[in-house]
Chains A and B, each alone.
Chain A
Amino acid sequence: MQTVKMVVTGPFSAGKTEFIRTISEIDVVSTERKISSDAERVKETTTVAMDFGRITVDDDLVLYLFGTPGQKRFDFMWEILSEGMLGFIVIVDSTRPETFREARNILDTFRGYAATPYVIAANKQDFEDAWTPDDLRIALKVNRSLKVLPCVATDKEAVKSVLLELLYSILETMDLEAE
């Protein structure tokens, strides 16, 4: 049986756990902890090691989704998680520009681990004050050739299309390498 792995990363509270939860066929095995410091109390819990979701294709192919912890102090897990990944998704909370710089740093760090394809998900598009994917592209200073996709992590169709776009990018990279 073959297993392939994709990594879902991004800043604190961007929606990584929600993204995996929406698409995984098993209850996400997660390492959530109650948040202790006031500064970070924009929500109840945070991921401390990783999230783990699964999509079974058939008897001999399984896709695992690994979500990284968002908080900087758990970044020692990142490299471990990135080993052998097929591609990765950087999730950004489009309503919180104060996290964009962090998103850019995370993106660079993951690119450093492996030259695998990736896409950026402009999450929480269901909020009125969400930045559009185009504006986010400029804010994050990412190249036109990269996909910045609209996303609502609680919506299955939106999550599916982000995953599909990443897979299409992976196919394109394979074509380029074959040439």
Chain B
Amino acid sequence: MALKGNLHDFSITQLLNLIHLARKTGTLAIDGRNNAARVAFKGGKLVHATSGGADGRLVNLLIKVGKITPEQGKQIPANKSDRDLSEMLVKAGLLTKQDLDIMVRANVREVVERLFALTDGVFRFEPNVLPDDQLIVDPPLSLDNIIMEGTRRLKESEKLQDELPNLDITLHFTDRPDTRLRNVNLSVEEWRVVSYINPKNTIRQIAQANNMSEFQIRKIVYGMLQAGLVELIRPAGGALTPPPGARPVPAPISTEVKRSVVNRLIDRIKRI
């Protein structure tokens, strides 16, 4: 009999724990408000996971990690199963079995870890149903680590949510040189965010421009706030939220620069 319910009543953590402890085999379908996923288990261990519709296909995964270009992706027939495609690519020497394995594993983990943030939605577990044309993770991934990591992230994410509740506000670089700036070491992700910091872009827009989740952007911005690199600009009167579709502009745009600005720069540098 299928196991059905609402995530309100039975959380992802509880579900995964149940599957883990009862060593269940089958497919779990989750339909959340803005996240859908299919996750398959064998003997209580994870063998497969996809999120969204087409997003979960191998082609898109290959494009995402830069193994093939979007153009090459378009040439692959939509009805080709992931398993056939991977065999073809490995045979053609375009991908090693090991690369493929690492990629699929990482993707499965990511899909499942993202589910922990869902609090709304319905689930349905079909026992003994497994995907037949998909890539299976072999050996299967044990759930205990994933549950631990997921719960840890959930706690962190709740804390970050408290620290930085509003993503529709903007950031600017700290004005005064601060001793805290010493020894700041930023990651590539953080630098990507830095290049969009500008009083015109909300934190949410910066996240969208960089394809980052709310969790990722909260974590990065929180780190930069702690380091004294940026400050939040509180909207005056609360009416400053730009339209949701507005495209974020990368930090300074040269076309807006006027002669007078260049002259002021010249004067300043002469005085250094």
Q: Give chain A's interface residues, CB within 8 Å of chain B.
A: 1-5, 23, 25-27, 29-32, 48-50, 52, 54-58, 61-64, 77, 80-81, 83-86, 114, 116, 156, 160, 163-164, 167-168, 170-171, 174
Contact = CB atoms under 8 A, between A and B. Distances in A.
Nearest to B266: A167
A2 B261 contact: yes
Interface string B254-272: 1011010111111111101
A163 to B, nearest CB: 5
B172 interface: yes
A61 B261 contact: yes
Interface stretch (B108-116, B127-135, B193-201): B193-201
Nearest to B183: A27
A169 B262 CA distance: 10
Interface in B197-254: 198-199, 229, 249-254
27 contacts: A2-B261, A4-B252, A4-B257, A5-B251, A23-B269, A26-B181, A29-B184, A31-B191, A49-B191, A55-B265, A55-B272, A56-B175, A56-B268, A57-B268, A58-B268, A61-B264, A61-B265, A63-B268, A64-B173, A77-B188, A80-B195, A83-B195, A83-B251, A84-B251, A86-B257, A167-B265, A170-B262
Nearest to A115: B254
Interface of B: 172-173, 175, 177-178, 181-182, 184-188, 191-192, 194-195, 198-199, 229, 249-254, 256-257, 259, 261-270, 272
A64 B102 CA distance: 40
B198 A3 contact: yes
Given A58-B264, A174-B262, A26 B252 contact: no
A171 B259 contact: yes
Contacts of A30: 185
A86 B188 contact: no
Given A156-B272, A164-B266, A3 B182 contact: no
A49 B188 contact: yes
A13 B210 CA distance: 29
B252 A3 contact: yes
A52 B178 CA distance: 14
A12 B93 CA distance: 33
A164 B269 contact: yes
